[in-house]
């Protein structure tokens, strides 16, 4: 099976400062990955390169088996197969329906099909009753659920989640985690989650990618990270001996 992402000797530099250096990395389809590491480890940089928002300095990588050349036509086509939910989801003016349907309208989806998809996605995240509610008046947790529905509406093959529960209450965070697992199983979407929450990574991820000073220091299951034969820095981080 062709990996969703394949990176080889990918680096990112700002001037002379190297912030990322990934030797080899493959991401398989339909799994949940969590990117962990201390502040400044390169987590967001790695995610932004894979999501085609930041150009790598050196190295090569492919998405869905296609080598990335950074041409405009390629970027548009591949970006349409991926989507991202950030820490604080931006809501457009208008109601929840308008926000969830936004990507469908951009793709000129027929009105009847838009309605069906929007209702299906809101039902999946438990926000059906808010369909006509002003989106900008939603609470933080409600915004994140609508953001997930908006992403689902365009059926991406890859979903990037950048600390999606860091700014919401624990109850809403637990609901979001359940929605993430459901989305992964129901849609077979590959999920790449950047989080500072070790316990969240352990609950959600099939595999954890642990970065240290821009390098992929360790990868494996959460159980491997806690109990396996790992680097001393990895063990210290997962035992809470290294703080963020």
Q: Does domain 1-81+158-244 have CATH number 3.90.1150.10?
A: no
pTM check: above 0.85? yes
Distance CA 7, CA 10 (A): 6
pLDDT (average), residues 36-48: 92
pLDDT (average), residues 180-187: 89
Q: What is the pLDDT of residues 195-236, one digit of tens each?
A: 888 888 888 999 999 999 999 988 887 776 666 656 677 666
Give the per-residue pLDDT at 31: 95
Give the per-residue pLDDT at 228: 60
Q: Are 137 and 183 in contact (CB under 8 A)?
A: no
* Average pLDDT taken over every residue of the chain: 90
DSSP alpha helix (H) spans, 34-169:
43-50, 72-79, 96-106, 111-124, 140-153
Q: Is the pLDDT of residue 16 over 60?
A: yes
Q: What is the pLDDT of residues 85-127, one digit of tens each?
A: 988 888 999 999 999 999 999 889 999 999 999 999 999 999 9
Give the per-residue pLDDT at 113: 96
All structural domains of the chain with their residue ranges:
1-81+158-244, 88-155
> Band of the pLDDT at 55, cuts 50, 70, 90?
very high
Residue indicated by tokens 């979001």 = 176
The sheet carrying 17-27 orders its strands as 66-67, 58-63, 5-14, 17-27, 215-220, 207-212, 32-36, 190-194, 158-162, 82-85
Which is higher by pLDDT, 133 or 244? 133
């Amino acid at each position: 099976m062709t990996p969703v992402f394949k990176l080889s000797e990918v680096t990112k530099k700002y001037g002379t400062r190297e912030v990322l250096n990934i030797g080899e990395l493959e991401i398989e389809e339909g799994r949940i990955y969590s990117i962990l590491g201390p502040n400044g480890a390169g987590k967001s940089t790695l995610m932004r390169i894979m999501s085609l928002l930041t150009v790598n300095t050196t190295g090569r990588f492919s998405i869905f088996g296609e080598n990335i050349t950074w041409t405009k036509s390629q970027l548009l086509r591949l970006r349409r197969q991926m989507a991202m939910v950030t820490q604080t989801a931006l809501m457009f003016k208008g109601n929840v329906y308008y926000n969830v349907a936004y990507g469908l309208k951009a793709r000129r989806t027929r009105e009847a099909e838009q309605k069906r998809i929007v209702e299906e996605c809101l039902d999946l995240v438990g926000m059906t009753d808010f369909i006509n509610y002003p989106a900008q008046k939603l609470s933080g947790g409600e915004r994140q659920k609508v953001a997930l529905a908006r992403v689902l509406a365009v059926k991406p093959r890859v979903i990037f989640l950048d600390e999606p529960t860091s700014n919401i209450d624990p109850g809403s965070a637990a609901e979001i985690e359940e929605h993430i697992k459901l989305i992964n199983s129901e849609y077979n979407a590959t999920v790449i989650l950047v989080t500072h929450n070790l316990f969240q990574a352990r609950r959600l991820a099939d595999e954890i990618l642990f970065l240290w000073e821009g390098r992929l220091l360790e990868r494996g299951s959460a159980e491997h990270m806690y109990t396996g034969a790992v680097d001393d820095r990895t063990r210290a981080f997962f035992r809470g001996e290294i703080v963020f």
